[in-house]
Amino acid sequence: MTKYFFQGKYVGQGIKGLLQEGGSKRRDAVVEALKSVGGTLDWIYYAFGETDVLGVMDIPDQASAAALSLMINSTGAVSVHLMPLMTPEDIDAATTKTPAYRAPGA
Q: Could you report the per-residue pLDDT of 53-70, keeping only the tens digit for each?
A: 999 999 999 999 999 999
Helix (H) or strand (E) holding 6: strand 2-10
> Which of the following CATH numbers is that of domain 2-93: 3.30.70.1060, 3.30.360.10, 2.60.40.10, 3.40.1190.20?
3.30.70.1060
Contact yes or no for 3/56 (Cβ under 8 A): yes
Contact yes or no for 58/37 (Cβ under 8 A): no
Percent residues over pLDDT 90 in the chain: 98
The whole-model pTM stands at: 0.88
CA-closest candidate to residue 62, choices 84, 40, 81 = 84
The CB density around residue 76, as the number of other CB atoms within 10 Å, is 11
Q: Could you report the per-residue pLDDT of 69-88, keeping only the tens digit for each?
A: 999 999 999 999 999 999 99
Domains of the chain by residue range: 2-93
Quick one: pLDDT at residue 59? 97
